[in-house]
Structure 1
């Protein structure tokens, strides 16, 4: 799927954001290896800790529908600059697709493409749970 189309789906998903506290809407569109797209938006909560980011919403929707291999994720926030996935979202994405392409769009129509390895160079993987040798 074209990067601009995936970013447009992320922008559209942003419209469903529930963000009464931060007033910062974020949308994400996740492309699976099978070609399906799952969108998500940020959903805030008065306790803040129960808030879920757009990227995790999209990942959880995909996983709940049986999809666990991802090609790309597009993210679009309300600001003029690029909105990068937070650290928790990076780790959740890495659980399923460490080599995923991350597509970011800004308010001026510019696109930035990164790898998850660029954004999270030392992710924690299930193999690390069994690494008894340390660092």
Structure 2
């Protein structure tokens, strides 16, 4: 799959963000190895601890549908800059593999690709619990 398609899905998801406090809508799209795409947006809560990021929303939707093998995640935020996942989202992403690609986009044509290993080096992951 072309990454611009995944960025387009993330941009579509961003439209549904509920961000009345930060006014910073974020969209994400998760591509699983089965080829399915799951969208997510950030969902804020007046009690800030109850807020959920777009990346985790998309991942949790995929996992709740039985998907565990994630291939890539596209993330979009501010139109004029690259919006990267927060630390909690990076930790959740690495739970599903260190080779997951992250497509950080401004537009369908303007994006950068990283692995989660690049964004969260020396991470604590499920492999650490197997020792």
Q: TM-score range by the shorter chain?
A: over 0.9
- 2:97 is equivalent to residue 101 of structure 1: no
Separation in structure 2 between the aligned mates of residue 12 and residue 90 of structure 1, nearest angstrom: 22
The DSSP-based 3-state class of the residue aligned with 1:60 is helix
Question: Is the CA contact 1:31–1:71 (under 8 Å) kept in the aligned structure 2?
Answer: yes
Report deviation, 1:128.
Answer: 2.5
Residues 108 and 64 (structure 1), Cα distance of their counterparts in 2 relative to 1, 3 Å cut: closer
TM-score (norm 2): 0.94
The CA deviation string for residues 80-121 of structure 1, in whole angstroms up to 9 with x for no partner, is: 100001110000011012210000112594211111111000
RMSD over aligned Cα, in angstroms?
Answer: 1.4
Question: Is the CA contact 1:74–1:103 (under 8 Å) kept in the aligned structure 2?
Answer: yes
- 2:64 is equivalent to residue 64 of structure 1: yes
Partner of 2:37: 37
The CA deviation string for residues 33-58 of structure 1, in whole angstroms up to 9 with x for no partner, is: 00000000000001111100000000
Partner of 1:15: 15
Partner of 2:119: 119
Residues 3 and 16 (structure 1), Cα distance of their counterparts in 2 relative to 1, 3 Å cut: same
Separation in structure 2 between the aligned mates of residue 80 and residue 110 of structure 1, nearest angstrom: 10
Q: Whose Rg is larger? A: 1
Separation in structure 2 between the aligned mates of residue 12 and residue 76 of structure 1, nearest angstrom: 10
Moved over 6 A (4+): none
Report deviation, 1:126.
Answer: 2.6
Structure 1 unmatched ranges of 5 or more: none
Question: Is the CA contact 1:40–1:54 (under 8 Å) kept in the aligned structure 2?
Answer: yes
For 1:43-58, what aligned pairs fall within 5 Å after superposition?
A: 43-58=43-58
- 2:83 is equivalent to residue 83 of structure 1: yes
The number of equivalent residue pairs is 131
